[in-house]
């Protein structure tokens, strides 16, 4: 119902793609660049940390992090991220997106640098300070999830909104590539400058003292791209939807957007006040009304993100172990510290270049054409099939001649994760909730994902250990093996496929249409006391009451004029939610001749709502 939309928001929905949209993608995406860079590099760093700080004289293999230390280093950032997603998601709805946005980026920059400056040469002190700073790094990264997604969704037009939000998230791909390439360059440079033998030749000499600088530099460099965009992030205006619908200042919203977008904006402060004054627009997160409208939606976004991250982070964090298990990466004892970092980085970079990054950009290209639901369903389904295809004949893949086939299929799981649920679980929560709760709900959904990442990081660390305890890594109990771990991930993806059916499709719809904020306005008008709101709705529909003036012909009318139906009501099962009998009774009372059509609507009970009925009335003409 275009009449009830704020003009400033309508203008944004239909605005052409402009240069500022791409600027916003870069500004918002740098947080995800740092996030992915850190995720990618920590798996390289942990190998080197084990060699440097946990070397055991006379051991057959290089030192590795003890299980509790490895779990802490890998998982503490997830704990921080989960906390940051909940806190900054809530704060973004309370204080505004812009006011909080700079905090998250600066926290990421400072803690990335501080992580590399973890002091002392004592293992416990280094690990303790590293974990401390990685927690707060994760806290800042967590805040970037709901804020970046919400800001981009509220800036974008409805035609290309999905692509813009997905493009912000796709900056993770460049972060992964940058991490791998930089680690390769740095390790190769140090290896050339400080020659060292393999571990099996000289266990102590294989790790040169300068290796302590390498892991620190790798962690700190990730802060640079985020730091370079801090100024531009501070210059971004508050989003029009927050200013208009939450701060209730349509004039300021129009003014802010006119500075960065070339669109014809007209403030409509009176409508803002009318919309926000309605009780229907005031429900909070912990209310029955929210549960009725968005409960299943929130369940869908949280469950799918949780399940996706169990599989996705398990694969990312421990792909080095999987590649070692099948023999694609040589045994650690045959390499020195720098050589091990180089070969693991090379393997992971190839995976990222051939599958991870293309997956992100396939989503960007197709999300507004085939829809979020289709991409997510396809991604989960293919990940399920591929995991089972890797796990069931696992012994076949471990033979030397078949390793390339394993790597190709394993790479495809990353492709369909990113051309699939890894992108769509980020996009959808930014589109389907009301403006005043959008950042909070996205934060809750993302936090559920990070809970899944923690399950994957800690669980897979133990599950993937060899079933023979004597062959498991030092300090670890016997696990279920890589094969059975892959089977578990296949089941997780299968459940994710089923949970996808709880998530609505938002392709081509405005944010207000998806969140029901338009519907709130119309329903409130109908329910206004004294009959004034009902007469307004009648006039909008071309129906007049005694003493009223018809808005279509301008003539004074007495009583209710007749409506000439132009066909039965059209109920679109893909875009309309549940039937509201109050709406049917209202329309029947307004015009009895519509009863036949109302009966037809009842036949599609599950797919019709009050808004559809009013659309029908408003589409008719009177004589």
| Structure-block tokens of residue 510 | 């405005």
Quick one: 543 and 500 in the same domain? no
For 57-75, the three-class secondary structure string (H helix, E strand, C coil) is CCCCCCCCCCHHHHHHHHH
pLDDT for position 615: 53
First to last CA, the chain: 23
Q: How far is CA 448 from CA 284, 413, 622, in A?
A: 20, 21, 52
Q: What is the mean pLDDT of residues 532-543?
A: 40
Quick one: 480 and 553 in the same domain? no
Q: How far is CA 281 from CA 114, 245, 433, 522, in A?
A: 44, 10, 12, 11
| Structure-block tokens of residue 247 | 């701060």
- Which of 219-223, 235-239, 309-313, 415-419 shows the highest mean pLDDT? 415-419
> Which residues make beta-bridge pairs with 621?
564
Q: Is residue 531 part of a domain?
A: no
Quick one: 188 and 293 in the same domain? yes
Last residue within a domain, chosen from 513, 528, 557: 513
Quick one: 246 and 308 in the same domain? yes
pLDDT for position 321: 65
Q: Is residue 387 part of a domain?
A: yes
Quick one: 501 and 552 in the same domain? no
Quick one: 216 and 328 in the same domain? yes
Q: What is the mean pLDDT of residues 333-341?
A: 92
For 499-520, the three-class secondary structure string (H helix, E strand, C coil) is HHHHCCCCCCCCHHHHHCHHHH
Q: How far is CA 497 from CA 373, 390, 446, in A?
A: 10, 18, 18
Q: How many CB atoms lie within 10 A of CB 557?
A: 17
Confidence of residue 274 (pLDDT cuts 50, 70, 90): low
Provide the domain count of the chain. Answer: 2
| Structure-block tokens of residue 78 | 């997830």
The whole domain housing 583 covers 538-622
Q: What is the mean pLDDT of residues 569-589?
A: 41
Element holding 621 (H helix, E strand): strand 621-622
Q: How far is CA 547 from CA 360, 365, 466, 535, in A?
A: 60, 55, 85, 11
Q: Is residue 278 part of a domain?
A: no
Pairing verdict, β 563-564 and 621-622: antiparallel
> Which residues make beta-bridge pairs with 549?
556
How far apart are alpha carbons 166 and 149 in whole angstroms?
9
Torsion on CA atoms 258, 263, 269, 274, rounded to nearest 10: -140
The CATH number of whichever domain residue 247 belongs to comes to: 1.20.1250.20
- Out of 98-112, 187-201, 262-276, 355-369, which region has the weakest mean confidence (pLDDT)? 262-276
Instruction: Let me know if 208 is exposed, middle or buried by CB neighbors in 10 A (0-12, 13-18, 19+).
Output: buried
Quick one: 487 and 542 in the same domain? no
**Average pLDDT score over the chain:** 78
Q: Is residue 529 part of a domain?
A: no
Element holding 563 (H helix, E strand): strand 563-564
Quick one: 509 and 543 in the same domain? no
pLDDT for position 270: 52
Quick one: 117 and 157 in the same domain? yes
pLDDT digits (tens, 9 = 90+) for 219-267: 999 888 888 888 888 888 888 888 877 887 877 877 777 766 665 555 5
Contact 263, 253 (CB under 8 A): no
Residues 6+ apart with CB under 8 A from 252: 243
Quick one: 482 and 549 in the same domain? no
User: Does the pLDDT of residue 23 top 70, yes or no?
Assistant: yes
Mapped onto helix, strand or coil, the DSSP state of residue 549 is strand
């Amino acid at each position: 119902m275009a009449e009830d939309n704020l003009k400033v928001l309508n203008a944004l929905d239909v605005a052409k793609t402009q240069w500022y949209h791409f600027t916003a993608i870069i500004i918002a995406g740098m947080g995800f660049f740092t996030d992915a860079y850190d995720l990618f590099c920590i798996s390289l760093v942990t190998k080197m940390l084990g060699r440097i700080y946990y070397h055991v004289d006379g051991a057959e293999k290089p030192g590795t992090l003890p299980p509790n230390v490895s779990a802490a280093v890998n998982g503490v950032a997830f704990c921080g991220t989960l906390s940051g997603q909940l806190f900054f998601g809530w704060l973004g709805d309370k204080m505004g997106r812009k006011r909080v946005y700079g905090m998250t980026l600066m926290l990421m920059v400072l803690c990335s640098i501080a992580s590399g400056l973890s002091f002392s040469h004592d293992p416990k002190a280094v690990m303790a300070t590293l974990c401390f700073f990685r927690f707060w790094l994760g806290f800042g990264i967590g805040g970037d999830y709901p804020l970046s997604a919400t800001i981009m969704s509220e800036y974008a037009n409805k035609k290309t909104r999905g692509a813009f939000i997905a493009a912000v998230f796709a900056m993770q791909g460049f972060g992964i590539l940058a991490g791998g390439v930089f680690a390769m360059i740095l390790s190769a440079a140090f290896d050339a400058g400080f020659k060292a033998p393999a571990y099996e030749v000289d266990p102590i000499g294989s790790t040169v003292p300068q290796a302590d600088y390498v892991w620190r530099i790798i962690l700190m460099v990730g802060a640079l791209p985020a730091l370079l965009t801090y100024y531009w992030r501070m210059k971004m205006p508050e989003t029009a939807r927050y200013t208009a619908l939450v701060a209730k200042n349509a004039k300021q919203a129009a003014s802010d957007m006119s500075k960065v977008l070339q669109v014809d904006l007209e403030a409509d402060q009176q409508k803002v006040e009318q919309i926000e004054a309605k009780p229907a627009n005031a429900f909070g997160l912990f209310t029955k009304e929210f549960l009725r409208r968005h409960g299943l939606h929130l369940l869908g976004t949280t469950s799918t993100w949780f399940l996706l991250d169990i599989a996705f982070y398990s694969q990312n964090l421990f792909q080095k172990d999987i590649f070692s298990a099948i023999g694609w990466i040589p045994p650690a004892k045959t390499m020195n510290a720098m050589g091990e970092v180089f070969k693991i980085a090379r393997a992971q970079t190839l995976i990222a270049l051939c599958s991870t990054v293309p997956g992100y950009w396939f989503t960007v290209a197709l999300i507004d054409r085939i829809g979020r639901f289709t991409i997510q369903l396809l991604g989960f389904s293919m990940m399920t099939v591929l995991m089972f295809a890797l796990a069931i004949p696992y012994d076949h893949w471990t033979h030397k001649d078949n390793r390339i086939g394993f790597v190709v299929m394993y790479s495809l799981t990353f492709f369909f994760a990113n051309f699939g649920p890894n992108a769509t679980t980020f996009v959808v929560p930014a589109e389907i909730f009301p403006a005043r709760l959008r950042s909070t709900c996205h934060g809750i959904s993302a936090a559920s994902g990070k809970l899944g990442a923690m399950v994957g990081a800690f669980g897979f660390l133990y599950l993937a250990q060899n079933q023979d305890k004597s062959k498991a890594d030092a300090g670890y109990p016997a696990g279920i093996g890589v094969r059975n771990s892959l089977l578990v991930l296949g089941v997780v993806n299968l459940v994710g496929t089923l949970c996808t059916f709880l998530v609505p499709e938002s392709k081509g719809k405005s944010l207000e249409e998806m969140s029901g904020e338009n519907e709130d306005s119309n329903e409130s008008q109908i329910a206004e006391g004294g009959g004034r709101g009902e007469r307004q709705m009648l006039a909008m529909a071309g129906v007049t009451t005694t003493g009223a003036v018809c808005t279509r012909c301008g003539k004074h009318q007495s009583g209710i004029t007749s409506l000439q139906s132009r066909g039965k009501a059209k109920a679109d099962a893909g875009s309309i939610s549940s039937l509201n009998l109050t709406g049917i009774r209202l329309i029947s009372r307004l015009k009895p001749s519509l009863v036949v059509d109302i009966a037809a609507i009842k036949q599609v009970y599950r797919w019709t709502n009050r808004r559809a009925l009013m659309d029908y009335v408003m589409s008719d003409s009177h004589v």
